[in-house]
Amino acid sequence: MSPPRPNDLDSFWMPYSDNRYFKTNPRMLARAEGMSYFTPEGREILDGTAGLWCCNAGHGRREIVEAIQKQAAIMDFAPTFQLGHPIAFEAAARVAEMTPDGIDRVFFTNSGSESADTALKIALAYQKARGQSQRVRLIGRERGYHGVGFGGMSVGGIGTNRKQFGAMLPYVDHLPHTHDPARNAFTKGMPEHGVELANKLEDLVALHGDTIAAVMVEPVAGSTGVLVPPVGYLKRLREICDKHGILLIYDEVITGFGRLGTDFGAERLGVVPDIMTMAKGLTNAAVPMGAVACSNAVYEAVVEGSPAGIELFHGYTYSGHPLASAAAIATLALHREEDLPGRARAIEPYWEEAAHSLRAAPGVVDIRNLGLIAGIELAPREGKPGARAMDVFRRCFDDGVLVRVTGDIVALSPPLIIEKPHVDRLIGTLSDAIHAIA
C-alpha cells in the first residue's frame, strides 16, 4: 500500500488533532491484524490502545468480517422507524443478555456521543412521564467525558471541549472529580480515599431541590486520564440517587465489553445504574454502533406511560443498522466464546505490575489502573501542558508501539487478547520513550 500523495492530506479535517503539525509529519495506519497495526510502508505498530479503547477482541477478526460481508449481501439497509428487521432485534437481545439483570431495554445509536445524548433525553422523558416534569437538571462530573454532542459536552466536565462554542445546555451542574493525588497517588486498583466526594451530590440536592433528573458518570473516567473511583464512591452515589428520585446513568462506552474484566463496569464495581451507554467494543469498532440500555422501570414509564402513538421523539436513521447489528452479534458471540473478560482478568495482575514498574521512570508523578486500563501521569513540561506526553506518544509510534495521550497522561488500553510478551514490549518501549524524552 503506497503512502498518501502530499495533497491527499489537504481535504480531510482531522478530528481532535493538530492538523498543521500532522501535515508536516503524517503518521499513518493502513492495515490491522490481531494485536497490531501496520503503516503504509509495512512497519508493525503494537496496538496499546485497542484503536481508541474499542477493538477489544483484536483487529481483523474473521468472524466479525464475515458477518458484516454476509449481511451486506442480504440487506444493506432498512429503517427501524415503524418497521423492523430481525437482526436488529437479535442484536438488542444479545446486549440485554449481557447487561445486569433488570437492564433489558436497548436503544441503538451510532456512537458514544449519540448514546450520551440519547441517555440524557431518555432520563428527562422518564421524569416527565412519571409526573416529575420539574426535574430538568442534569448532573455530570468534572473531568467526565461523554462525547461531543451538546448534551454530552455540557454534562461532561472538560472546559477545553466547551470554550470554543459558548452556548451549552442550561440546568447542568457538576460533581467534583475523584482524582486526589495527595492521598491516592500510585494506587493499584481502586483508591482507598475519597468516598466522601459522592456526598457532594447531597449538596447539589440541597441547592437544586427536586429539579434533578439524572446524574451521569463514567464508572472509570478514561479519556481524561484514567480516574478510578474510590472504594464505596459509586455505592454512595447510588444511595443518594435512590433517596431523591434521581436516575443514575453510567457511561460505559469505555468500560463496557470486558475492559474491566467483567462484561460491564457495573459488574466489576458492584453497583448497577438505571441507564447505561455503550459503543466502541459493542461491534469491536468494525462498524460504528452505540447503544443505551435502560432499566425496565425507565422503559415502562416512557413507553407504557405514554398515550398511543410515538412514545419517544428520538431516533437515528441508522439505529440498529443491519451491518452494525451483524457486527454486534458476531462480536458478542466472540466475547463469550473466547471469554474476553476472563482473559482480561487473568492478565490484570501482570498488567498492573508492569504499569507500576514505570514508577521510577523520570517525570512520572502518578500511575493508575483497573482492568486492562492504565494511566501514567507525567509532570507537565514547564509552560507547555501535554507537550511531554505528546513527545512520548510520537516516540513510541516511531519505535513501533501505539499509546494514547490525554493532557499529561499516557493512557493504555490494549486489546483484551494481549499476552505477556506484548505487555513487556508495550511497557518496555514506553519506558524507553519516557527516559529518552526526559
Binding site for ligand PMP (CB under 6 A): 111-113, 116, 145-147, 218, 222-223, 251, 253-254, 279
DSSP 342-399: HHHHHHHHHHHHHHHGGGGSTTEEEEEEETTEEEEEEPPBTTBTTHHHHHHHHHHHHT
Which CB atom, from 112 or from 371, has the smaller least distance to ligand PMP? Answer: 112
Which CB atom, from 409 or from 437, has the smaller least distance to ligand PMP? Answer: 409
Closest contact distance (angstroms) between CB of 113 and ligand PMP is 3
Grid cell at residue 306:
405514554
The residue nearest ligand PMP at its CB is 112
Residue found by looking up cell 493508575 in the block = 368
Which CB atom, from 229 or from 363, has the smaller least distance to ligand PMP? Answer: 229
Strand order in the sheet with 31-33: 31-33, 36-38, 44-47, 401-402
Which CB atom, from 116 or from 212, has the smaller least distance to ligand PMP? Answer: 116
Instruction: Measure the CA–CA gap between 313 and 327, rounded to whole angstroms.
Output: 27
Beta carbons within 10 angstroms of residue 51's beta carbon:
19
Closest contact distance (angstroms) between CB of 130 and ligand PMP is 26
Instruction: Measure the CA–CA gap between 199 and 202, rounded to whole angstroms.
Output: 5
Closest contact distance (angstroms) between CB of 149 and ligand PMP is 8
25 Rama class: left (phi>0) / alpha (psi -120 to 50) / beta: beta
Which CB atom, from 36 or from 406, has the smaller least distance to ligand PMP? Answer: 406
- In a 3-state reduction of DSSP, which class is residue 366? strand
Which CB atom, from 71 or from 161, has the smaller least distance to ligand PMP? Answer: 161
Instruction: Measure the CA–CA gap between 238 and 231, rounded to whole angstroms.
Output: 13
Closest contact distance (angstroms) between CB of 108 and ligand PMP is 13
Closest contact distance (angstroms) between CB of 256 and ligand PMP is 9
Residue found by looking up cell 407504557 in the block = 304
Could you tell me where the beta strands, DSSP code E, fall in 257-388? 275-278, 290-295, 364-370, 373-378
Which CB atom, from 116 or from 190, has the smaller least distance to ligand PMP? Answer: 116
Which of 178, 240, 162, 251 lies closest to 208, judged by CA?
Answer: 240
Which CB atom, from 111 or from 178, has the smaller least distance to ligand PMP? Answer: 111
Closest contact distance (angstroms) between CB of 306 and ligand PMP is 28
Find all residues with CB under 8 Å of 150, minimum gap 6, and list them.
Answer: 117, 168, 169
Closest contact distance (angstroms) between CB of 382 and ligand PMP is 29
Instruction: Measure the CA–CA gap between 118 and 316, rounded to whole angstroms.
Output: 10
Closest contact distance (angstroms) between CB of 155 and ligand PMP is 11
What 8-state DSSP symbol labels residue 381?
Answer: B
Closest contact distance (angstroms) between CB of 259 and ligand PMP is 10
Which of 150, 132, 151 lies closest to 302, judged by CA?
Answer: 132
Which CB atom, from 168 or from 310, has the smaller least distance to ligand PMP? Answer: 168
Find all residues with CB under 8 Å of 127, minimum gap 6, and list them.
Answer: 133, 135, 136, 213, 214, 247
Beta carbons within 10 angstroms of residue 66's beta carbon:
12
